[in-house]
Amino acid sequence: SQLGEKRPGLVITNFGKRLLVESEDGQLHNCAVRQHLGKLVAGDTVTWQADIEPNTGVVVAADPRHQELSRPGFRGQKRMVAANIDLLGIVAPIEPGVHPDMIDRYLVTAHQMHLPVLILINKIDLMASDEHWEAIAELLLPYDELGLDILPVSAESGDGIEALRTLLTGKNSVFVGPSGAGKSSLIKALIPDIDIKTSALSESTGLGKHTTTNSILYHLPEEADVNPGHAGNIIDSPGVRQFSPMPCELHELEAAYPDFAPFLGQCKFNNCTHTTEPNCAIRQAVEDGELHYSRYQSFQRLREEFANEPH
């Protein structure tokens, strides 16, 4: 036919039934998609062929994914949001406050999506005193004990941004967190020309600047001395920013709490909800100070929430 040779490509975003595909030379191509391929999203890698019109093409094959980010959609069905994510950045601001419950929800999501996490303590320019920092460090103790990476940053002052850039190197990352946590500000600190990039994308898709709610992949800028050749990408969208965990069974929720693991087998009942059952090893561990109460609390909130939802 009139299509060009088969070439590898990276999906930058999906819009309508089409994809914006980046070729290896960095050019963008507005592509139709062969129907049998199903829904493809930012982060997917594909095979595409150029069409006659300049900067258009057809996606003819998709590579297997190593990871899928999906969210609960209509009637609990999964909705694909992004593909091949390597890192979930949980943005927790010290103002209005670090909320362990929020962090724990995202940790459950990360477990469900098979994602390593990085906890970003943002707005540290607003740190008032040593006592302020100590109070926050205490809230973060469970995460430190879980061996999670915790990075204090400030999108405002730039503190920690270069360390963050290093941790994002070579990865596809997504930032999540409550509205106002500073996700946009952090992305802008990492990618200063993001507005220009967004304009270029809306030109390539023929869509207005703010009409797409789908995920978009942005390249982090390369810096010769930090990340030559593989700076990494940020995938962002209104849909990924406030991500809820999927309702799941009790044992899957327990599996998302690795700090519970040493005690779980010791409850009297195998289906123990760790609320009022006799001989509950989890409640005992909380009492003995071997489990943090905040972790127990967030677990119970999610358990109750999931019990009322279809899964």
Q: Does 154 engage in binding with ligand GDP (CB under 6 A)?
A: yes
Least separation in angstroms between residue 244's CB and ligand GDP is: 16
Least separation in angstroms between residue 152's CB and ligand GDP is: 10
Q: Which does 259 bind (CB under 5 to 8 A by kind): Zn ion, ligand GDP, none?
A: none
Q: Does 122 engage in binding with ligand GDP (CB under 6 A)?
A: yes
Given the rule CB under 6 A, which of 31-39, 179-187, 192-200, 214-222 is the region that contacts ligand GDP? 179-187
Pairing, β 68-72 against β 78-83? antiparallel
Residue among 58 and 94 whose Cβ is closer to ligand GDP: 94
Q: Does 126 engage in binding with ligand GDP (CB under 6 A)?
A: yes
Rounded Cα distance between 22 and 254, Å, is 40
- Nearest CA among 112, 126, 116 for reference residue 88: 116
Neighbours of 115 (CB within 10 A): 19
In terms of C-beta density within 10 A (0-12 exposed, 13-18 middle, 19 or more buried), how is residue 149 classed?
middle
Q: Which does 271 bind (CB under 5 to 8 A by kind): Zn ion, ligand GDP, none?
A: none
Least separation in angstroms between residue 23's CB and Zn ion is: 54
Footprint (CB under 6 A) of ligand GDP, residues 89-108: none
Q: Which does 70 bind (CB under 5 to 8 A by kind): ligand GDP, Zn ion, none?
A: none
Q: Which residues contact 185 (CB under 8 A, 6 or more apart)?
A: 122, 155, 156
Among 184, 198, 273, 294, binds ligand GDP (CB under 6 A): 184
What is the dihedral sign for C-alpha 149, 155, 157, 162? positive
Do the Cβ atoms of 190 and 234 come closer than 8 Å? yes
Q: Does 125 engage in binding with ligand GDP (CB under 6 A)?
A: yes
Q: Does 156 engage in binding with ligand GDP (CB under 6 A)?
A: yes
Footprint (CB under 5 A) of Zn ion, residues 240-299: 267, 272, 274, 280, 282
Q: What is the DSSP string of 152-215?
A: E--TTT-TTHHHHHHHHTT-EEEEE--TTSSHHHHHHHH-TTHHHHHHHHHHHHT--TT---S-
Q: Which does 111 bind (CB under 5 to 8 A by kind): ligand GDP, Zn ion, none?
A: none
Q: Which residue has the tokens 């989890």?
A: 282
Residue among 125 and 149 whose Cβ is closer to ligand GDP: 125
Residues forming the site for ligand GDP (CB under 6 A): 122-123, 125-126, 154-156, 177, 179-185
Residues forming the site for Zn ion (CB under 5 A): 267, 272, 274, 280, 282
